[in-house]
Structure 1
């Protein structure tokens, strides 16, 4: 490699990315200089909007111009980095991507990198443990790269708010690098503990460039409404006071869709954006927000790191994230290129319950992990096959396998997973520490909501920002200026009507799980309905009260039930009503009472009640295979049903996975030959 890169060269490249007249700040140049001229390993912790992507694109190009190999950028945000890549290409920085969608082109892309036709190769952390990639391409990358960039480096850390096991595989890539190959790790969201964890994994001598986290454009506030169910109406009333377009974050997918529907019903042009949104639709919605074609995206955390809209005017949270770190990361989307952006938190009474749910699906207990290790052997097994042998949901099973893989106990190969035979120790203190850390973060968010001090200063201290000593002078507590809690009565009525309209779909299961006693396609079950979701912003509290109290009132609920049945687009009206028993006697009594009322009002045949078998216990299995096997013996079918000809309305209290009504409904369909329509008082999803 020859001659030293100059700041003038770097500024010229920055102008290509950011426009004429753009110049690097001293701290940005310090990072580039350390990488290009000193070949150091660097951890850069800087606030969102600081310009981290510009640093690594410019460093990659400068190194390339001096004979180095292409840079390898590892990022979980490939789908959200489109605009950064386009900006880099305007500056003559050529980028290529290896992902699951272009596997057949991997060899061609690799040749482009080797031949100099690409300056930057972007890959996701998941690629690092793809067997073909890991065994053939990764060693070549380690030997030929001129720079390694680990974007969103907090994902390396167990303590990070977005830990991803695949990120720990990065150590294998770093271990294969020549000593003079520079490495850059970047993040905007890391406290002292995460910084130290990441720096340790990057190796001795890693330099840290850490800046202040204040964002002078952000005006933080919290709106605590006496009745949290009024939050959608409050937002619909005050959205006109928020400048430009922005993001409204919700904690769950269903909440995002419900809120988007409610805001659209009163004339606001918004769209839901969640983990269930298709990739092409995500790109369309991102562009719609970037081009100010819509007022807001109502999003889950699926819209998070990597989304770049400099003039984003506001971020509202309908419900609080569980940690200050994740909250700071999400609000950092706003106000990058504006003088002012409003950041408003609307806490909900359901927040703690949602936090507890996500905490409950963290790393499983030791006996469950040992169960998984005991069924693995030399013959590769797919996750689908393992799912029928280990009581873990698909997502948790995949997560645990990745952790065990990084720890060396299992290995991913073609065809699935195998055991390495290496001894593995369950690090109980580490997992207990993680749980305690999450609980502390939750308490910190509750304190943030109640504090009468500077809100920005509070967040900065929680992220261990040593420069955070002075109040921001902009938040509601600093200025004394607070949002009015007034709600337009007409808007409130329209929003309430939309949110309280009963009826949500219960999806149909198509196939029985693999490896159990029933096989193939599921027959006889049609799409079902529930009155609402337990986590609905408006309907949820009333449904919980109904289920907890176990008392049914015709006056209170029958109108809702009739409306759902009336709007149900079934092929043939049900002729029978059957009540499905529960291990909870109170729930069974409630379901029977509701079934009787439906049969009476709808003039249907009350065909009977399916009781739980004597001595049967509640089914607590987590994955589909174990759950279905347990449900197959849960009910007592000996009493029979008094069915007449025609479809059967199967009434239950709560639907979660949908397997209860599927197993029971399948039994009815097999006995009678009639179609079964599940109906639940509430859905959990």
Structure 2
């Protein structure tokens, strides 16, 4: 009884509510930290209060003189919310991530003094030699509780597997058996729970609760194309309760949907993992999260970067502009809404492009064997940094990093990192072909189940809960299927649709100039180091994105037949006249040896329409592999070394035109050559970007 009263007192203190009571299962989860086998997996609905369990346990452990709590958590939004909540219990909490490196000395000093109660880290920290040294030399050496938050990430059978999480198994096996370990998740079926148990201890308790979300009303809308979904969002965004999240699968879609809704007068902002790249750290993401938390925007249009752990109890809606890959991810995302309100809405669009995007995700969920072998073979010749590996191998830097991470978490590992370099060890590498095959089949099956879910006549919430092995799953009585009626109309104003179609036609994106030549990639041209300002292309313009309707569809069709229609000339003229381009002096085309006439013919017609002279100033003197096959900057640039020659060209600003743009290196190289030959500034123009959707999936 005394222990119960102590736990209840702390709960009420944390919530600042003298009448608060534990939610069903919460107190049992706290108690599991203090009783053998000191290992527990907690599977509870989002919003149930899993973080409160380890806050209370930490306070009690620290009061007993035990060491600090170490929380491994995958996303920074989770960490920021938890740091605010921990302070209510008087816990001194800190986080140690790539986003706050300036704070590391102070955090390390506090850990060595033993005054830190709770430290939150991302799983990637576990790969750092310096962090492992910090564990050994600070109060973390006698850690009191290890929390694996969003523990489904530890399982490669889970919907959001992260290789760095697999370091946890080895770490936990080294802990004393009386050190408590708590794994928490809202999205683990029985198979994933078994995998978590296998990694943190065979005697692990499982504490599972109901996954019902009684406040949520679910609806599925199928069959709408891009323009129709944009029209629906514009017409119905204000009909959705409160503020919320609109999920997209890619960064480019998040940016575009946000631009569209902003143009229609809606208070929305885009949110994705690349926001911090422009201003450093995660400052811009934090600002946008805060705007949503304060209801100062109607919605954030976001990739999965705004996901696990984002805590806004009054979030009123979640809209999926495109569908997630499986039902578990879907439950995770709709669970952001309706935590502390009686009514919230989740609308799912089944988009035409979903199948292609998810097929790419399934095929690229794990490193390909050929890439793994190439990395290992290269390391056989000596240590290499990631940059040197990228120069040697035609693989993206992200793929190289992923391969090395995946290899490094295996025990024993065939690679080891020493300083900045990766080295081959004596451990032989053997691919588990059957396991890889089963995982791919599993993900394909999960996607098929999701597509069946979108067509079902059963209760939508019940189907989701059954997929998560919730034994208490039952009809919710609130979804569109239970009510046999739409929660929101699936219709939209035809005039709004026309505006959306015009927006898509005019949905140009900038072509950012390259600023630095890849080292040793362009030896024939002698280009190296920083690209001088005068030789650098100005910001250019791309009319469309591959796979879109309108202009992109015309480009796709016309490229196959070798002639670009006059409507594309008209679209280019419109875009140029709306652009800030000024004082254009002349136009030239990017040449090709595969298609000799398509682009020059188009550019001549464009020049005539603009009343500008066409100059045949650039020739291609060497056949090259398609740029699309070159997977990193070094190879993209090196593939074009010595491929182009520039003759006499007029003075003045040149408009350099190509049909497709991918890496931007073709424009960068020809632009520099044109300036050296006497041209003024060079402005790139492309009809379509051919970057794959998989290039920006966060």
TM-score (norm 2): 0.90
- Counterparts of 2:593 and 2:465 in 1: how far apart (Å)? 49
1:149–1:184 contact (8 Å) kept in structure 2 = yes
Cα distance in 1 between the residues matched to 2:587 and 2:223: 45
Mapped to 2, the partners of 1:682 and 1:69 lie a distance apart of 57
Q: Which residue number in structure 1 is paired with residue 422 of structure 2?
A: 417
**Contact conserved, 1:60 with 1:120, CA < 8 A, in 2?**
yes
SS of the equivalent of 1:244 reads coil
Structure 1 distance, partners of 2:106, 2:284, is: 29
Q: Residue 461 of structure 2 aligns with which residue?
A: 456
- Structure 2 partner of 1:471: 475
Mapped contact 2:69–2:145 kept (Cα < 8 A):
yes
Contact 1:384 1:514 in 2 (8 A): no
Task: Give the CA deviation at 1:614.
Answer: 7.0
Alignment of 1:132-151 (within 5 A): 132-138=130-136, 143-151=141-149
Q: Is the 8 A contact 1:502 1:560 kept in 2?
A: no
The structure 2 residue matched to 1:247, chosen from 241, 245, 248, is 245
- The equivalent position to 2:378 in structure 1, one of 360, 375, 380, is 375
Residue-by-residue CA offset, 1:27-80 (whole Å, 9 max, x unaligned) = 111111111244511111111111110001111111111121111111122343
What count of residue pairs does the alignment treat as equivalent?
A: 674
Change in CA separation of 1:422 and 1:683 when aligned onto 2, cut-off 3 Å: same
* Root-mean-square deviation (Å): 2.5
Bigger Cα displacement from structure 2, 354-363 vs 449-458 = 354-363
Q: Structure 1 residue 560 and structure 2 residue 571: aligned?
A: yes
Q: Does 1:601 align with 2:609?
A: yes
CA contact (8 A) 2:587 2:603 kept: no
User: Does structure 1 conserve the Cα–Cα contact (< 8 Å) formed by 2:509 and 2:543?
Assistant: yes
The structural deviation recorded for 1:513 is 2.1
Residue 632 of structure 1 is matched in structure 2 by 641
Q: Is the contact made by 1:576 and 1:646 (CA closer than 8 Å) also made in structure 2?
A: no
Deviations 1:364-423 (A, max 9, x none): 332321221122269653211221012211111111111111121111222232222321
Which stretch shifts more, 648-657 or 67-76?
648-657
Q: Deviations over 1:62-111 (max 9, x none)?
A: 11111211111111223433233222211212212222355575465345
In structure 1, the residue matched to 2:580 is 569
Partner of 1:655: 661
Q: Deviations over 1:141-184 (max 9, x none)?
A: 66311110011111111122222211111123212211100100
Which deviates the most, 605-614 or 131-140?
Answer: 605-614
Deviations 1:515-566 (A, max 9, x none): 4344222334222211121255776545544545554332x23332112212
Counterpart residue number, 1:298: 301
CA contact 2:551–2:568 (8 Å) conserved in 1:
no
Instruction: Identify if the C-alpha distance between structure 1 residues 362 and 670 changes in structure 2 by more than 3 Å, giving closer, same or farther.
Output: farther
TM-aligned CA deviation for residue 136 of structure 1 = 4.2
> Residue in 2 aligned with 1:63?
61
Match of 1:17 in 2: 14
- C-alpha displacement of 1:667: 4.0
SS in 1 for 2:614: strand
CA contact (8 A) 1:271 1:298 kept: yes
How far does residue 504 in structure 1 lie from its aligned partner after superposition? 1.5
Matched, 1:485 2:496: no
Secondary structure at the residue paired with 2:392? coil
CA 1:574–1:424 in 2, change beyond 3 Å: closer, same or farther?
farther
Corresponding position of 1:645: 651
The structure 2 residue matched to 1:514, chosen from 511, 519, 527, is 519
* Aligned counterparts, 1:428-467, within 5 A: 428-467=433-472
Shift of the alpha carbon at 1:506?
0.9
Which one of 670, 677, 681 corresponds to residue 683 of structure 2? Answer: 677
Give the deviation of 1:681 after TM superposition. 0.7
CA distance, structure 1, for counterparts of residue 471 and residue 552 of structure 2: 42
1:527 aligns with 2:521: no
Residue 592 of structure 2, aligned match among 581, 598, 606 = 581
CA contact (8 A) 1:380 1:415 kept: no
Aligned match of 1:384: 387
Shift of 1:494: 4.1
Secondary structure of the residue aligned to 2:300 is strand
Contact 1:576 1:644 in 2 (8 A): no
CA distance in structure 2 between the aligned counterparts of 1:512 and 1:336, rounded to whole angstroms: 50
Aligned to 2:285: 282
Instruction: Say if 1:175 and 1:139 are closer, same or farther in 2 by CA, change over 3 A.
Output: farther
Rounded Cα–Cα distance in structure 2 between residues aligned with 1:524 and 1:103: 33
Q: CA deviation at 1:597?
A: 1.1
**Residue 598 of structure 2 corresponds to which residue in structure 1?**
590
Name the CA shift for 1:410/1:567 in 2 (closer, same or farther; >3 Å): same
Aligned positions of 1:178-189 closer than 5 A: 178-189=176-187
1:501 Cα offset (Å): 2.0
In structure 2, do the counterparts of structure 1 residues 100 and 251 end up closer, same or farther at CA, with 3 Å as the change threshold?
Answer: closer
1:382 and 1:496, CA in 2 relative to 1: closer, same or farther beyond 3 A?
A: same
Deviations 1:621-676 (A, max 9, x none): 2122122222336x464xx6563223332222221222233334444444455433
Matched with 1:264 is: 262
Deviation at 1:134, TM superposition (A): 2.0
Whether the 8 Å CA contact 1:258–1:536 is kept in 2: the answer is no
Q: Secondary structure at the match of 2:222?
A: coil
Q: Which deviates more, 266-275 or 308-317?
A: 266-275
Provide the C-alpha distance between the structure 1 equivalents of 2:211 and 2:353, rounded to a whole number of angstroms. Answer: 30
CA 1:236/1:505 → structure 2, altered by over 3 Å: closer, same or farther? same
Q: Report Cα offsets for 1:317-376 as digits up to 9, x if no partner.
A: 111112212111111100001111110012211112222333444333323212211222
Task: Please give the alpha-carbon distance, in whole angstroms, between the structure 2 residues aligned to 1:418 and 1:574.
Answer: 53
Q: Is the 8 A contact 1:269 1:296 kept in 2?
A: yes
* C-alpha separation in 2, matches of 1:642 and 1:656: 27
* CA distance, structure 1, for counterparts of residue 74 and residue 237 of structure 2: 32
Q: Are 2:220 and 2:349, in contact at CA under 8 Å, matched by a contact in 1? A: yes
Distance 1:484 1:103 in 2: 48
The answer to whether the Cα contact below 8 Å between 1:388 and 1:515 also exists between their aligned partners in 2 is no
2:339 aligned with 1:327, yes or no? no
Residue 200 of structure 2 is aligned to residue 202 of structure 1? yes
- State the alpha-carbon separation in 2 of the partners of residues 202 and 361 from structure 1: 28
5+ residue gaps, structure 2, are 277-281, 692-698
2:318 equivalent to 1:309: no
